[in-house]
């Protein structure tokens, strides 16, 4: 298909965890469109053009290869590509603000606003701008004002299309999403723009899963969806603390309540805590929004989800310290996993970071093992780098260790030969299963002292 025959020219600004996979899927499912992804990070763009993609996501390379060079292109040339496109998705990072008003809670919109200004100055024709990034409610209205304040009479319509993919299952989620949400103004031009975006996704997604709303509902729904998901995790984690006190088993409790169809069984898995770049950021964004409107009780309710998560991380480190006779100093502790969850190399806000930091403060000898995330872990822990050991092979990481802590639920950790591992560890040997993925009874029979989350500890001596 020659370039002239493309029926839509789509640009995405931001080639990260969302922009890259989302655009690859659109390009692969819609060969009639030309899709270009730009980023200011040259190294990232080179990686997208190679077979060593900048992010690890199962199945992603195949999707990229399906379209790359045909109708999917990666570039660092912003201006030219803005000029050349009709629809621009903006998928840049929107981290929590670290300075000034709203620091620690509200979203830092500088990257987003810069994009809006870049789009305005480079454009020579009307365009639809799609918010893919997660943004505070009413950002679209503000952006439309900035964009439409131009001297060339150009008309920009901003549409909200928040992304609900989960890292680790991004390809599956994009291929077969529960829903795609498209919000717009309910004016004639707003509805026209909305329909253009609906048309893109209707190339492979059934119409009944393409839901539409007004702009503010779409923006708010994304914050609320992540807050509800995180709330489920914090709820079950809070119960895990109680289970440990009363000899209940949190997995049995989860199963019992999850069978209730009103509750459902998803996201009821107790763990060391949630991580990732979005949950905490989006909840705090919601909290800030509530505070802005004087809804202090609502804000406090949602903020408690984050506090419970921090409590769970702290509790995990305290359990390690207490079990190891109240001192981890100079003890070799192998962390199995550094990614914030399995099947991703992403370590942003991973509980592993907090746990490592706390163990380092206690002068433990920390060894980090992870099949995909060691490169990112080294960046995150650069302040400690000469004191931390990195070892991709879990057997070597656990060699002569006092304890193993499972931080990420990688399948490979379920399949290790724990007898072999135990035979090479210091005595007494401890295992802290922060994801409840191992066979605890079997580990106990091998000789380990086993500390799951929210379940009775299995130990070979009297715990005082």
Nearer to ligand NAD, 90 or 374 (CB): 90
Tell me the chain's radius of gyration from C-alpha atoms: 24
CB 448, min distance to ligand NAD, A: 34
Q: Which is nearer to ligand NAD, 109 or 366 (CB)?
A: 109
Shortest Å distance, C-beta 92 to ligand NAD:
4
**Is the alpha carbon torsion for 417, 420, 423, 426 positive or negative?**
negative
What's the order of all strands across the beta sheet hosting 127-131?
72-75, 33-38, 8-13, 87-90, 127-131, 156-160, 180-184, 210-214
CA 64/CA 27 separation, integer angstroms:
8
The verdict on whether 278 is a catalytic residue reads yes
Residue whose C-alpha is closest to residue 163's, from 277, 301, 45: 277
Contact 173, 193 (CB under 8 A): no
Q: Of 134 and 251, which CB lies nearer to ligand NAD in the complex structure? A: 134
* Contact indicator for 115, 129 with CB cutoff of 8 Å: no
Peptide bond into 428 cis (omega under 30): yes
Q: Least distance in Å: CB of 421 to ligand NAD?
A: 32
Sequence-distant (6+) residues with CB within 8 A of 114 are none
Residues that bind ligand NAD (CB under 6 A): 13-19, 38-41, 44, 78, 91-94, 111, 114-115, 133-134, 163, 165, 167, 277-278
30, 115, 243, 278: which one is catalytic?
Answer: 278
* Residue 98 vs 326, nearer CB to ligand NAD: 98
What is the rounded distance in angstroms from the CA atom of residue 321 to the CA atom of residue 325? 7
**Which secondary-structure segment (H or E) carries 317?**
helix 296-323
Q: Which lies closer to ligand NAD via its Cβ, residue 104 or residue 400?
A: 104
Shortest Cβ 87–ligand NAD spacing (Å): 16
Q: State the nearest-atom distance from the C-beta of 118 to ligand NAD, in Å.
A: 6
**Active site residue ranges:** 278
């Amino acid at each position: 298909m020659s370039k002239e025959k493309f029926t839509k020219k789509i640009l995405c600004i931001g080639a990260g965890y969302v922009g890259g996979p989302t655009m690859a899927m659109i390009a692969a499912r819609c060969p009639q469109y030309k899709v270009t992804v730009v980023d200011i990070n040259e190294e990232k763009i080179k990686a997208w053009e190679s077979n060593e993609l900048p992010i690890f996501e199962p199945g992603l390379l195949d999707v990229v290869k399906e379209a790359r060079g045909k109708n999917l292109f990666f570039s660092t040339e912003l201006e030219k590509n803005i000029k050349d496109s009709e629809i621009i998705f903006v998928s840049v990072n929107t981290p929590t603000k670290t300075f000034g008003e709203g620091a620690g809670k509200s979203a830092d919109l500088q990257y987003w606003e810069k994009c809006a200004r870049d789009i305005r100055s480079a454009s020579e024709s009307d365009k639809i701008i799609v918010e893919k990034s997660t943004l505070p409610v009413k950002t679209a209205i503000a952006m439309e004002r900035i964009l439409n304040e131009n001297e060339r009479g150009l008309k920009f319509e901003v549409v909200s299309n928040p992304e609900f993919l989960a890292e680790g299952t991004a390809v599956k989620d994009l291929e077969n999403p529960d829903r795609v949400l498209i919000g717009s103004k309910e004016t004639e031009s707003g509805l026209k723009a909305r329909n253009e975006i609906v048309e893109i996704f209707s190339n492979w997604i059934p119409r009944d899963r393409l839901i539409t709303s007004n702009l503010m509902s779409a923006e708010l729904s994304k914050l609320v969806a992540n807050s509800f998901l995180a709330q489920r995790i914090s709820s079950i984690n809070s119960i895990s603390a109680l289970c440990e006190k009363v000899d209940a088993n949190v997995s049995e409790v989860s199963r019992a309540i999850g069978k209730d169809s009103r509750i459902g069984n998803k996201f009821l898995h107790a763990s060391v805590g949630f991580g990732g770049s979005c949950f905490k950021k989006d909840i705090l964004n919601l909290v800030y929004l509530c505070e802005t409107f004087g809804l202090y009780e609502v804000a406090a309710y949602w903020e408690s989800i984050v506090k419970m998560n921090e409590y769970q991380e702290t509790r995990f480190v305290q359990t390690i310290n207490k079990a190891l006779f109240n001192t981890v100093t100079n003890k070799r502790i192998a962390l199995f996993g550094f990614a914030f969850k399995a099947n991703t190399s992403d370590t942003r806000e991973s509980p592993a970071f907090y746990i490592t930091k706390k163990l380092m403060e206690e002068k433990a000898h920390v060894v980090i093992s992870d099949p995909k995330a060691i490169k990112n872990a080294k960046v995150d822990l650069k302040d400690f780098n000469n004191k931390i050991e990195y070892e991709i092979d879990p057997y070597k990481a656990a060699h002569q260790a006092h304890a193993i802590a499972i931080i990420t639920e990688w399948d490979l950790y379920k399949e290790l030969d724990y007898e072999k591992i135990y035979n090479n560890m210091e005595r007494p040997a401890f295992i802290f299963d922060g994801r409840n993925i191992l066979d605890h009874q079997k580990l106990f029979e091998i000789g380990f002292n086993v500390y799951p989350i929210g379940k009775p500890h299995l130990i070979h001596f009297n715990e005082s």
